[in-house]
Amino acid sequence: MRHTAYIVLTIAALIASACGRRTATSTEAFTRQIYTPHYASGFAITGTPDGDAVLIETSSPWQGSGPERRRLVIGNTNLAADPDMQSIQKPARRIVCMSSTHVAMLGAIGCSDRIVGVSGLDFISDPYVNAHRDAIADVGYEPDVDYERIVALAPDLVLLYGVTGPSGMESKLRELGIPYAYVGEYVESSPLGKAEWMVAMGEITGVRMAAEQAFALLPPRYDSLRRAAAAMPERPRVMINAPYGDSWFMPSTSSYMARLIEDAGGDYIYRNDTGDKSETVDVEQAYLMASQADCWINVGQIASLAELRSRHPKFADVECVRRGRIYNCNRRMTAAGGNDFWESSVVHPDVVLHDLIGVFHPEAGITDDQLYYYKRIE
């Protein structure tokens, strides 16, 4: 009887010990700081003391996600103990990108050749992708993703994003046993913070040091331009976006675009801080703001002043329209209608800032033909 009890107690102790080890092999195992972002708030990179594995933790990966986390372990996959952890044994060499910004980040760190699949091939501007269209598959868009094609690609990793919630691809990729990771640059409010996600991409691909070096070039350029803009004598009032039906989406004062406007020496006409979400205003409210604006940017699909006046006649008499100070971020378009601004600008915040300084401050001497993403609507 005592012998039986001893065996039971021994087994119980072993189970408890195993459970203890399992707990220790979740996030608690990653105690070595590898990279702490300087501008981004949505990721951190840590490792195990013995270098056995690296953890990339994505926090608040979509708008309004609160304390949500998504984690990727690279290395010892036994350490991916928690349900929200994905794992790959070694840096990814075959990657499917579900956002064009993922393509731009991989290009910025010299890893375009890792891309085997994209979402919306005809809308991608990246030179490498376009030069290798025969070798890169279009896997479609949510919710009509071609999972058979993804399986056939045998990717090491699928890069996902969320807008107002998690990607609908999560459950199917789990079912198929295909690892995935979230790239959360979309919700970063800092232009440099968005670009800093290239460092996380560098860890995913095994070239983090090169990615850090590539990113390190950006802050000095950006800060130099920001200081030049701050010295400009005027701060023009800036309107943004165009109507969508009967509504107008205005980014929060703490948003990425609001930060760019401020850093370029502009005065964003909208005053509400709605966190990481844009607010819907009606057309009447938008008209009042546009009437006070000196400049209007990012006017959607509108290609000319005549089209703007035709589609939105109510706005034809506002001063910035009368003076022709309307600019759109559509200078670099693909034949199918893809816009490189929404692709590569994520890794070129300094170029965007340079453009906006030219738009807001004619006295800066930046001519329209020197703009990279923006152009005047005529």
Tokens of residue 288, six digits: 């009042």
The average confidence (pLDDT) of the chain is: 92
Task: Indicate the burial class of 262 (C-beta count within 10 angstroms; 0-12, 13-18, 19 or more).
Answer: middle
The stretch 263-287 carries a mean pLDDT of: 92
pLDDT at site 192: 98
Which of these CATH numbers, 3.40.50.300, 2.30.30.100, 3.30.300.30, 3.40.50.1980, describes 225-376?
3.40.50.1980
Please give the helix or strand (H or E) that residue 157 lies within, else none.
strand 157-160
pTM above threshold 0.95: no
Tokens of residue 85, six digits: 């952890």
Amino acid at residue number 286: A
The pLDDT-based confidence of 373 (bands split at 50, 70, 90) is very high
- Using alpha carbons, list the distances in angstroms from residue 226 to 85, 121, 230: 39, 35, 6
Residue 14 has pLDDT above 80, yes or no: no
Contacts of residue 45, defined as CB under 8 A and 6 or more positions apart, other chains included, come to 34, 35, 36, 54, 55, 56, 57, 199, 200, 203, 208
pLDDT at site 13: 39
Domain with CATH 3.40.50.1980 in the chain: 27-216, 225-376
Grouping H, G, I as helix, E, B as strand and the rest as coil, residue 46 is strand
Q: What is the CATH number that goes with domain 27-216?
A: 3.40.50.1980
pLDDT at site 66: 83
Residue 95 has pLDDT above 70, yes or no: yes
Residue 5 has pLDDT above 90, yes or no: no
Grouping H, G, I as helix, E, B as strand and the rest as coil, residue 337 is coil
Of 31-40, 206-215, 221-230, 306-315, least confident by mean pLDDT is 306-315
Q: Each residue of 161-211: pLDDT tens digit? A: 998 899 999 999 999 999 999 999 999 999 999 999 999 999 999 999 999
- For the ranges 6-20, 62-76, 339-353, the maximum mean pLDDT occurs at 339-353
Of 59-73, 146-160, 212-226, 364-378, least confident by mean pLDDT is 59-73
For 240-279, the DSSP string reads: E---BTTEEEE--TTSHHHHHHHHTT-EES-----TTS-E
Tokens of residue 127, six digits: 């030179």
Residue 43: half-sphere exposure toward Cβ, Cα within 13 Å: 29
CB 46 within 8 A of CB 69: no
Amino acid at residue number 377: I
Residue 8 has pLDDT above 60, yes or no: no
- For the ranges 57-66, 100-109, 244-253, 310-319, the maximum mean pLDDT occurs at 100-109
Of all residues in the chain, the percent with pLDDT exceeding 90 is 83
pLDDT at site 189: 95
Residue 22 has pLDDT above 90, yes or no: no
